[in-house]
Amino acid sequence: MRLDDLLNRELLADHVANRLVAVQPHPVLPLWIYNYTQHAQFDPHWGDGTIDYCRGLIVGPDDEIISRPFKKFHNLNTESIPETMEANLPTMEPTVTQKLDGSLGIHYAYDGFEGIATRGSFTSPQAQWATAWYNKIKAGRKLNFNKEFVWPKGLTPLFEIIYSENRIVVKYDYEALVLIGLVGVQSGYEAPHAMLRDVGHKNELPVVRAFRNLPLAQLKSMNIENEEGYVLSYTNFVGEPLKVKVKMVDYVRLHRVVTGMNARSVWELMKAGDEIDKFETGYPEHFTNWLHKWKEKLQQEFIKVSSVALDIFVGRPLKVEGETNREYRKACALYFLAQPRQDVKSLFFMLLDEKDTAQFMAAVWDMIEPRGDDKTFREEGQ
């Protein structure tokens, strides 16, 4: 199957030019991976039948599709995606599987090489970890049992990449590639969970859990600690299934904070006087450790700047008898301007003008605002 058989090439070219879709080459092999960017999720073209497929789609020479991952799927009751609304869901019983909180791993094989890519990269930290883990297990099977990994022809194996350094919210007590899907390159058909279990058993790899007799109303009401949620797959037995995500309320809350907070967010909270400690209870340990690090750093910077200003201010000239306020202010100004810390000179004059404490503190916070790095907690590689 070639790229033209799956999507509109002209539209794809437009999306690449408009930076809605990114294309990354493999460092060695003649392979390319297509992935939608953050801009695409807020673009009216979302769901146009082209961007949706660019979720780690791997293409080789002559535009042959090498690996086909899941098409982008959304949360239950996403208003902008009509098919996700409960009223529009198929009446058939869906396959319900555990939604794992890791990174999507996409298996690819070319010219005798096997690797695992992530949604937009062959060389991301997660892809490197997954490929190394896969090859280690593969070598062990060959050495100890003289067995190779065997994958059904024409189906792309998909995994959840789970290891401690890639933790998002949920904390797992294992590290592995968990088999979560087998997708047909030609049609997008997804193998049933029974086949997933069989393939996983033969390859001695963990397989995502499936659940039976869990009606949608019950799934929506569940809020299990240290769990992300569920994936519902409505299979049509021919082509792509309709898939929706149902997430735990607590997970959504934690995920929003953990993935969205950066150093400037911490600074904004502290400047506003909000209780930063409220984020140190009930949140993942790796996040609270990161948060505590930034809290301590900003507190130390605040104390350092305010202490320097106060120490210099205390050493100012004293007003002498008969000196006018204007003369005294000029003498203080000359003293302040002679100090080495001109970056805080505005604080000297605030103290001289007897500004209230709140104004002084706000000015100090403004001086220590983190600049030039808006990386979120997740982007910092925690």
Q: Where are the domains of the chain?
A: 71-248, 261-367
Residue 301 is predicted with a pLDDT of 94
Rounded Cα–Cα distance for residues 33 and 25 (Å)? 6
CB 25 within 8 A of CB 32: yes
Residue 382 is predicted with a pLDDT of 43
Residue 259 is predicted with a pLDDT of 82
User: Which whole-number Å values give the CA distances from 268 to 262, 301, 369, 376, in the listed order?
Assistant: 10, 14, 8, 14
- Tell me: the pLDDT tens digits for 262-289? 888 889 888 888 777 777 677 778 888 8
Domain 71-248, architecture per CATH: 2-Layer Sandwich (3.30)
Residue 192 is predicted with a pLDDT of 95
From the CA atom positions of the chain, what is the Rg in Å?
A: 28
Would you say the C-alpha torsion 5, 7, 11, 16 has a positive or negative sign?
Answer: negative
- Tell me: the pLDDT tens digits for 35-81? 999 888 776 666 677 899 999 999 999 999 999 999 999 999 999 88
Residue 212 is predicted with a pLDDT of 92
What count of other Cβ atoms lies within 10 Å of the Cβ of residue 307? 10
Residue 342 is predicted with a pLDDT of 80
Q: Is the pLDDT of residue 372 over 70?
A: no
Rounded Cα–Cα distance for residues 32 and 59 (Å)? 5
pLDDT band at 196 (very low <50, low <70, confident <90, very high): very high
Residue type at 175 in one-letter notation: E
Residues in the chain: 382
Task: Report the run of H or E that residue 165 belongs to, with start and end.
Answer: none
Give the pTM: 0.79
Rounded Cα–Cα distance for residues 375 and 259 (Å)? 10
Residue 322 is predicted with a pLDDT of 87
Mean pLDDT is lowest, of 103-107, 164-168, 239-243, 253-257, for 253-257
Q: Summarize the confidence of residues 141-162 as an average pLDDT.
A: 93
Q: Is the pLDDT of residue 378 over 70?
A: no
- Tell me: the pLDDT tens digits for 287-299? 888 888 899 999 9
Residue 21 is predicted with a pLDDT of 95
pLDDT band at 349 (very low <50, low <70, confident <90, very high): confident
- Tell me: the pLDDT tens digits for 162-189? 999 898 899 999 999 999 999 999 999 9
Q: Indicate the SS3 state at residue 240.
A: coil
Rounded Cα–Cα distance for residues 110 and 329 (Å)? 77
pLDDT band at 210 (very low <50, low <70, confident <90, very high): very high
Q: Is the pLDDT of residue 143 over 90?
A: no
Among 63-67, 257-261, 341-345, the range with the most confident prediction by mean pLDDT is 63-67
Q: Is the pLDDT of residue 247 over 50?
A: yes
Q: Summarize the confidence of residues 127-147 as an average pLDDT.
A: 93
